[in-house]
Amino acid sequence: MPEASGGSSGAPLDGPSDGQWYPPEWPDRIRALARGELTPVAPRRAATVLLLRPGASGSGTSGMDVYMLRRRASMAFAGGAYAYPGGSVDERDVRPVAWAGPGLADWARRLGAPSEAEAQAIVCAAVRETFEEAGVLLAGPSPEAVVADTTGADWEADRLALVARELSFADLLARRGLVLRSDLLGAWARWITPEFERRRYDTWFFTAALPAGQRTRNASTEADRTVWVRPAEAVVGYGRGELLMMPPTITMLRDLTAYETPQAVLAAAPGRELAPVLATASLAEDGRLTLSWPGHEEFTRRLPA
Protein backbone atom coordinates (compact mmCIF):
# COMPACT_ATOMS: atom_id res chain seq x y z
CA MET A 1 0.00 0.00 0.00
CA PRO A 2 1.46 3.43 -0.87
CA GLU A 3 2.46 5.77 1.90
CA ALA A 4 0.46 8.89 2.67
CA SER A 5 1.11 11.56 0.11
CA GLY A 6 2.08 14.18 2.64
CA GLY A 7 -1.01 16.37 2.86
CA SER A 8 -3.36 18.22 0.56
CA SER A 9 -3.10 21.47 -1.30
CA GLY A 10 -4.87 23.38 1.45
CA ALA A 11 -7.44 25.31 -0.58
CA PRO A 12 -10.57 25.84 1.58
CA LEU A 13 -12.95 24.09 -0.79
CA ASP A 14 -15.86 22.40 0.96
CA GLY A 15 -16.35 18.71 0.21
CA PRO A 16 -15.65 15.17 1.43
CA SER A 17 -12.51 14.59 3.50
CA ASP A 18 -10.58 12.60 0.93
CA GLY A 19 -7.41 12.80 -1.12
CA GLN A 20 -8.68 14.97 -3.96
CA TRP A 21 -5.88 17.16 -5.29
CA TYR A 22 -6.41 20.84 -5.96
CA PRO A 23 -3.93 23.75 -5.77
CA PRO A 24 -4.52 26.70 -3.42
CA GLU A 25 -4.57 29.22 -6.27
CA TRP A 26 -7.63 27.71 -7.94
CA PRO A 27 -10.28 29.88 -6.18
CA ASP A 28 -8.60 33.11 -7.27
CA ARG A 29 -8.10 31.85 -10.80
CA ILE A 30 -11.71 30.69 -11.03
CA ARG A 31 -12.92 34.15 -10.00
CA ALA A 32 -10.56 35.78 -12.50
CA LEU A 33 -11.91 33.54 -15.26
CA ALA A 34 -15.50 34.38 -14.31
CA ARG A 35 -14.68 38.11 -14.44
CA GLY A 36 -13.10 37.77 -17.87
CA GLU A 37 -9.66 38.61 -16.51
CA LEU A 38 -8.08 35.29 -17.34
CA THR A 39 -7.64 33.78 -20.80
CA PRO A 40 -7.54 29.97 -20.78
CA VAL A 41 -4.40 28.45 -22.24
CA ALA A 42 -4.80 25.84 -24.97
CA PRO A 43 -4.46 22.30 -23.60
CA ARG A 44 -1.54 20.19 -24.77
CA ARG A 45 -2.25 16.70 -26.07
CA ALA A 46 -1.07 14.02 -23.68
CA ALA A 47 -1.32 10.29 -23.07
CA THR A 48 -1.27 8.19 -19.90
CA VAL A 49 -1.07 4.41 -19.49
CA LEU A 50 -2.49 2.29 -16.69
CA LEU A 51 -0.06 -0.64 -16.56
CA LEU A 52 -1.66 -3.78 -15.14
CA ARG A 53 -0.38 -7.15 -13.95
CA PRO A 54 -1.91 -10.20 -12.28
CA GLY A 55 -1.74 -10.29 -8.49
CA ALA A 56 1.02 -12.26 -6.81
CA SER A 57 -0.86 -15.55 -6.40
CA GLY A 58 2.24 -17.20 -4.93
CA SER A 59 1.85 -15.11 -1.77
CA GLY A 60 -1.72 -16.16 -1.28
CA THR A 61 -3.30 -13.21 -3.04
CA SER A 62 -5.00 -12.88 -6.41
CA GLY A 63 -6.65 -10.24 -8.51
CA MET A 64 -4.83 -7.45 -10.30
CA ASP A 65 -2.31 -4.70 -9.55
CA VAL A 66 -1.88 -1.29 -11.20
CA TYR A 67 1.38 0.63 -11.44
CA MET A 68 1.39 4.12 -9.91
CA LEU A 69 3.99 6.79 -9.27
CA ARG A 70 4.00 9.64 -6.81
CA ARG A 71 4.90 12.99 -8.31
CA ARG A 72 7.60 14.91 -6.46
CA ALA A 73 6.25 17.57 -4.13
CA SER A 74 8.38 20.12 -5.97
CA MET A 75 6.52 19.56 -9.25
CA ALA A 76 4.58 22.61 -10.45
CA PHE A 77 1.63 20.47 -11.53
CA ALA A 78 0.04 17.97 -9.10
CA GLY A 79 3.06 17.80 -6.80
CA GLY A 80 2.69 15.01 -4.26
CA ALA A 81 -0.17 13.36 -6.12
CA TYR A 82 -0.22 9.74 -7.26
CA ALA A 83 -0.60 9.24 -11.01
CA TYR A 84 0.20 6.86 -13.88
CA PRO A 85 3.10 6.98 -16.36
CA GLY A 86 2.43 9.50 -19.10
CA GLY A 87 3.17 12.89 -20.57
CA SER A 88 2.75 15.31 -23.43
CA VAL A 89 2.81 14.46 -27.10
CA ASP A 90 6.16 15.19 -28.75
CA GLU A 91 5.84 16.93 -32.13
CA ARG A 92 8.05 14.15 -33.51
CA ASP A 93 5.54 11.47 -32.49
CA VAL A 94 3.92 11.91 -35.91
CA ARG A 95 6.95 10.46 -37.69
CA PRO A 96 6.18 7.16 -39.46
CA VAL A 97 6.80 4.00 -37.44
CA ALA A 98 6.34 0.28 -38.08
CA TRP A 99 2.84 -0.39 -36.80
CA ALA A 100 0.91 -3.43 -35.56
CA GLY A 101 -2.70 -3.59 -34.47
CA PRO A 102 -5.66 -1.42 -35.52
CA GLY A 103 -4.90 0.96 -38.38
CA LEU A 104 -4.53 4.68 -37.94
CA ALA A 105 -7.97 5.35 -39.39
CA ASP A 106 -9.46 3.08 -36.73
CA TRP A 107 -7.47 4.79 -34.00
CA ALA A 108 -8.50 8.24 -35.22
CA ARG A 109 -12.16 7.24 -34.97
CA ARG A 110 -11.70 5.62 -31.59
CA LEU A 111 -9.83 8.54 -30.05
CA GLY A 112 -11.89 11.27 -31.69
CA ALA A 113 -8.69 12.63 -33.23
CA PRO A 114 -9.04 15.03 -36.17
CA SER A 115 -6.51 13.16 -38.31
CA GLU A 116 -4.63 9.89 -38.58
CA ALA A 117 -1.39 11.77 -37.88
CA GLU A 118 -2.75 13.05 -34.56
CA ALA A 119 -4.04 9.60 -33.66
CA GLN A 120 -0.57 8.17 -34.26
CA ALA A 121 1.01 10.94 -32.19
CA ILE A 122 -1.27 10.15 -29.23
CA VAL A 123 -0.63 6.40 -29.39
CA CYS A 124 3.11 6.91 -29.88
CA ALA A 125 3.17 9.26 -26.90
CA ALA A 126 1.47 6.63 -24.75
CA VAL A 127 4.05 3.98 -25.67
CA ARG A 128 7.03 6.34 -25.56
CA GLU A 129 6.13 7.88 -22.19
CA THR A 130 5.60 4.44 -20.66
CA PHE A 131 9.12 3.51 -21.71
CA GLU A 132 10.56 6.82 -20.54
CA GLU A 133 8.89 6.78 -17.11
CA ALA A 134 8.55 3.07 -16.30
CA GLY A 135 11.10 1.32 -18.53
CA VAL A 136 8.35 -0.74 -20.18
CA LEU A 137 8.19 -0.90 -23.99
CA LEU A 138 5.05 -1.98 -25.88
CA ALA A 139 6.90 -2.95 -29.06
CA GLY A 140 8.49 -6.01 -30.55
CA PRO A 141 10.53 -7.43 -33.43
CA SER A 142 7.33 -8.55 -35.19
CA PRO A 143 3.57 -7.87 -34.99
CA GLU A 144 3.23 -10.99 -32.82
CA ALA A 145 6.17 -10.48 -30.45
CA VAL A 146 7.11 -8.11 -27.62
CA VAL A 147 10.54 -7.11 -26.36
CA ALA A 148 11.31 -9.37 -23.40
CA ASP A 149 13.89 -7.27 -21.53
CA THR A 150 14.68 -3.55 -21.53
CA THR A 151 17.04 -3.37 -18.55
CA GLY A 152 20.46 -3.39 -20.24
CA ALA A 153 22.84 -0.43 -20.38
CA ASP A 154 22.13 0.06 -24.09
CA TRP A 155 18.40 0.30 -23.41
CA GLU A 156 19.00 2.79 -20.64
CA ALA A 157 21.14 4.93 -22.96
CA ASP A 158 18.29 4.98 -25.49
CA ARG A 159 15.76 5.82 -22.80
CA LEU A 160 17.83 8.74 -21.57
CA ALA A 161 18.26 9.97 -25.15
CA LEU A 162 14.48 9.91 -25.57
CA VAL A 163 13.98 11.87 -22.36
CA ALA A 164 16.55 14.45 -23.46
CA ARG A 165 14.84 14.65 -26.88
CA GLU A 166 18.14 13.70 -28.51
CA LEU A 167 16.41 10.70 -30.08
CA SER A 168 12.93 10.46 -31.53
CA PHE A 169 10.73 7.48 -30.78
CA ALA A 170 10.50 6.69 -34.50
CA ASP A 171 14.31 6.57 -34.74
CA LEU A 172 14.53 4.30 -31.71
CA LEU A 173 12.09 1.79 -33.19
CA ALA A 174 13.69 1.92 -36.63
CA ARG A 175 17.23 1.49 -35.33
CA ARG A 176 16.23 -1.55 -33.28
CA GLY A 177 13.95 -3.00 -35.95
CA LEU A 178 10.89 -2.85 -33.73
CA VAL A 179 7.16 -2.64 -34.42
CA LEU A 180 4.89 -0.52 -32.24
CA ARG A 181 2.23 -2.84 -30.77
CA SER A 182 -0.84 -0.61 -30.72
CA ASP A 183 -2.95 -3.73 -30.22
CA LEU A 184 -1.59 -3.99 -26.67
CA LEU A 185 -3.31 -0.72 -25.73
CA GLY A 186 -6.94 -0.19 -24.82
CA ALA A 187 -8.34 3.35 -24.98
CA TRP A 188 -10.09 3.90 -21.64
CA ALA A 189 -11.00 7.57 -21.06
CA ARG A 190 -10.27 11.19 -21.94
CA TRP A 191 -10.05 14.11 -19.52
CA ILE A 192 -9.18 17.77 -20.12
CA THR A 193 -7.59 20.01 -17.48
CA PRO A 194 -9.94 22.82 -16.31
CA GLU A 195 -9.79 26.14 -18.15
CA PHE A 196 -8.56 28.00 -15.07
CA GLU A 197 -5.46 25.82 -14.57
CA ARG A 198 -2.07 27.26 -15.53
CA ARG A 199 -0.99 24.03 -17.23
CA ARG A 200 -3.63 22.30 -19.28
CA TYR A 201 -3.65 18.87 -20.89
CA ASP A 202 -6.05 17.03 -23.18
CA THR A 203 -5.23 13.54 -21.95
CA TRP A 204 -6.17 10.15 -23.32
CA PHE A 205 -5.95 7.30 -20.79
CA PHE A 206 -4.99 3.83 -22.00
CA THR A 207 -4.77 0.44 -20.34
CA ALA A 208 -2.09 -2.18 -21.03
CA ALA A 209 -0.84 -5.42 -19.50
CA LEU A 210 2.78 -5.59 -18.40
CA PRO A 211 4.55 -7.65 -21.13
CA ALA A 212 5.98 -11.00 -20.05
CA GLY A 213 9.63 -10.70 -19.04
CA GLN A 214 9.61 -6.93 -18.64
CA ARG A 215 9.64 -5.19 -15.29
CA THR A 216 8.98 -1.66 -14.18
CA ARG A 217 11.44 0.67 -12.53
CA ASN A 218 11.26 4.24 -11.31
CA ALA A 219 12.83 5.84 -14.36
CA SER A 220 11.01 9.16 -14.02
CA THR A 221 12.75 12.25 -12.70
CA GLU A 222 9.28 13.56 -11.80
CA ALA A 223 8.46 10.78 -9.32
CA ASP A 224 9.89 10.09 -5.87
CA ARG A 225 8.12 6.75 -5.41
CA THR A 226 6.51 4.02 -7.50
CA VAL A 227 4.33 1.13 -6.41
CA TRP A 228 2.23 -1.77 -7.68
CA VAL A 229 -1.03 -1.66 -5.76
CA ARG A 230 -4.47 -3.23 -5.79
CA PRO A 231 -6.98 -0.72 -7.17
CA ALA A 232 -9.36 -1.35 -4.26
CA GLU A 233 -6.61 -0.68 -1.69
CA ALA A 234 -5.63 2.58 -3.37
CA VAL A 235 -9.29 3.63 -3.44
CA VAL A 236 -9.49 3.06 0.33
CA GLY A 237 -6.34 5.12 0.86
CA TYR A 238 -7.81 7.96 -1.17
CA GLY A 239 -11.07 7.83 0.76
CA ARG A 240 -9.18 8.17 4.03
CA GLY A 241 -7.33 11.22 2.74
CA GLU A 242 -4.03 9.33 2.85
CA LEU A 243 -3.36 9.30 -0.90
CA LEU A 244 -3.51 12.49 -2.95
CA MET A 245 -4.94 12.08 -6.47
CA MET A 246 -6.51 14.09 -9.24
CA PRO A 247 -10.14 13.24 -10.14
CA PRO A 248 -9.28 11.21 -13.28
CA THR A 249 -6.73 9.13 -11.37
CA ILE A 250 -9.14 7.99 -8.67
CA THR A 251 -11.90 7.55 -11.24
CA MET A 252 -9.72 5.07 -13.18
CA LEU A 253 -8.95 3.17 -9.98
CA ARG A 254 -12.63 2.85 -9.17
CA ASP A 255 -13.24 1.60 -12.69
CA LEU A 256 -10.56 -1.07 -12.29
CA THR A 257 -12.10 -2.52 -9.13
CA ALA A 258 -14.76 -4.11 -11.31
CA TYR A 259 -12.19 -6.40 -13.00
CA GLU A 260 -10.05 -9.27 -11.79
CA THR A 261 -7.49 -9.55 -14.59
CA PRO A 262 -5.66 -7.31 -17.07
CA GLN A 263 -7.22 -9.33 -19.88
CA ALA A 264 -10.71 -8.50 -18.63
CA VAL A 265 -9.84 -4.79 -18.58
CA LEU A 266 -8.48 -4.87 -22.12
CA ALA A 267 -11.55 -6.79 -23.32
CA ALA A 268 -13.78 -4.06 -21.87
CA ALA A 269 -11.81 -1.15 -23.36
CA PRO A 270 -13.49 -1.08 -26.82
CA GLY A 271 -16.85 -0.40 -25.18
CA ARG A 272 -15.65 2.54 -23.12
CA GLU A 273 -17.03 6.05 -23.69
CA LEU A 274 -14.30 8.50 -24.70
CA ALA A 275 -16.23 11.76 -24.57
CA PRO A 276 -13.88 14.25 -22.87
CA VAL A 277 -14.53 15.20 -19.26
CA LEU A 278 -13.91 18.89 -18.57
CA ALA A 279 -14.36 20.50 -15.15
CA THR A 280 -16.55 23.58 -14.96
CA ALA A 281 -16.67 26.38 -12.41
CA SER A 282 -19.55 28.71 -11.63
CA LEU A 283 -19.57 31.94 -9.64
CA ALA A 284 -22.83 32.83 -7.87
CA GLU A 285 -23.97 36.42 -7.36
CA ASP A 286 -23.12 36.19 -3.66
CA GLY A 287 -19.54 35.25 -4.52
CA ARG A 288 -19.76 31.52 -3.80
CA LEU A 289 -17.83 29.22 -6.13
CA THR A 290 -18.83 25.75 -7.30
CA LEU A 291 -16.32 23.48 -9.01
CA SER A 292 -17.69 20.36 -10.69
CA TRP A 293 -16.84 17.63 -13.17
CA PRO A 294 -19.84 16.74 -15.37
CA GLY A 295 -20.85 13.14 -14.82
CA HIS A 296 -18.72 12.91 -11.67
CA GLU A 297 -20.71 14.69 -9.00
CA GLU A 298 -18.60 13.17 -6.20
CA PHE A 299 -15.82 15.64 -7.06
CA THR A 300 -17.98 18.76 -6.66
CA ARG A 301 -16.34 21.36 -4.44
CA ARG A 302 -17.85 24.60 -3.11
CA LEU A 303 -16.12 27.69 -1.80
CA PRO A 304 -17.93 30.19 0.40
CA ALA A 305 -17.88 33.83 -0.58
**pLDDT score of 61:** 52
CATH of domain 39-271: 3.90.79.10
**pLDDT score of 197:** 85
Segment of 159-163, 186-190, 300-304 carrying the highest mean pLDDT: 186-190
| Residue 139 backbone zone (phi > 0: left; psi -120 to 50: alpha; other: beta) | beta
**pLDDT score of 60:** 46
Residue type, 223: A
**pLDDT score of 189:** 97
User: From CA 79, how far away is CA 220, in angstroms rounded?
Assistant: 14
Contacts of 104 (CB under 8 A, 6+ apart): 116, 117, 119, 120
pLDDT digits (tens, 9 = 90+) for 190-240: 999 888 888 899 999 999 999 999 999 876 666 678 889 999 999 999 888
Q: Where are the domains of the chain?
A: 39-271
Compute the mean pLDDT over every residue in the chain, rounded to the nearest whole number: 86
Who wins on pLDDT, 304 or 182? 182
For the cut 50, the answer to whether the pLDDT of residue 12 exceeds it is no
For the cut 50, the answer to whether the pLDDT of residue 15 exceeds it is no
For the cut 90, the answer to whether the pLDDT of residue 294 exceeds it is no
Determine which of 37-41, 142-146, 182-186 has the lowest per-residue pLDDT on average: 37-41
For the cut 60, the answer to whether the pLDDT of residue 78 exceeds it is no
Question: Bridge partners of 82?
Answer: 70, 245
Distances (CA, A) of 222 to 7, 75, 89, 109: 18, 7, 17, 32
**pLDDT score of 80:** 73
What sign does the CA torsion over 78, 80, 82, 84 have?
positive
Question: Bridge partners of 223?
Answer: 71
| Length of the chain counted residue by residue | 305
CA–chain centroid gap for 273, Å, is 16
Distances (CA, A) of 64 to 57, 126, 166, 182: 10, 21, 36, 22
User: From CA 218, how far away is CA 85, in angstroms rounded?
Assistant: 10
**pLDDT score of 68:** 93
